[in-house]
Amino acid sequence: SYELTQPPSVSVSPGQTARITCSGDALPKQYAYWYQQKPGQAPVLVIYKDSERPSGIPERFSGSSSGTTVTLTISGVQAEDEADYYCQSADSSGTVVFGGGTKLTVL
């Protein structure tokens, strides 16, 4: 199986831009997905297919891909964005992998 690597933590002040990266050798061939998880709650899908945003997700959430790295960008970070963020991918053999997660702290 393959791995997805995320930084353990990212800190940003309110109103600034947060960027969370996810790296993996399989990412040039597979889509990446991003989830937000707040304490005691189930994960919420915020980005699919590298850069698509589900309905109901604020426009300040965006995704991009370049080579073996995908990036979740949160523009104009708000206090409510403080959460754990996970990247995820899946291959054609049915294997699903999650990154280790990144704790976003809003200072």
Partner 1 sequence: EVQLVESGGGLVQPGGSLRLSCAASRFTFSSYGMTWVRQAPGKGLEWVSAISGSGGSAYYADSVKGRFTISRDNSKNTLYLQMTSLRAEDTAVYYCAKVYCSSTSCPTVGAFDIWGQGTMVTVSS
Q: Which of 21, 23, 26, 44 binds partner 1 (CB under 8 A)?
A: 44
CB neighbour class for 32 (10 Å; exposed up to 12, middle 13-18, buried from 19): buried
Best CA proximity match to 34, nearest among 3, 8, 57: 57
Q: Which of 20, 24, 83, 86 binds partner 1 (CB under 8 A)?
A: 86
Q: Which of 10, 35, 53, 104 binds partner 1 (CB under 8 A)?
A: 35
Binding span for partner 1 by CB under 8 A among 15-23, 59-67, 68-76, 89-97: 89-97
Q: Are 72 and 34 in contact (CB under 8 A)?
A: yes
> Structure tokens of 24?
């993996």
Give CA–CA dist 8/1, Å, rounded: 21
Cβ nearer to partner 1, comparing 37 with 75: 37
Binding site for partner 1 (CB under 8 A): 1, 31, 33, 35, 37, 42-45, 48-49, 54, 84, 86, 88, 90, 93-101
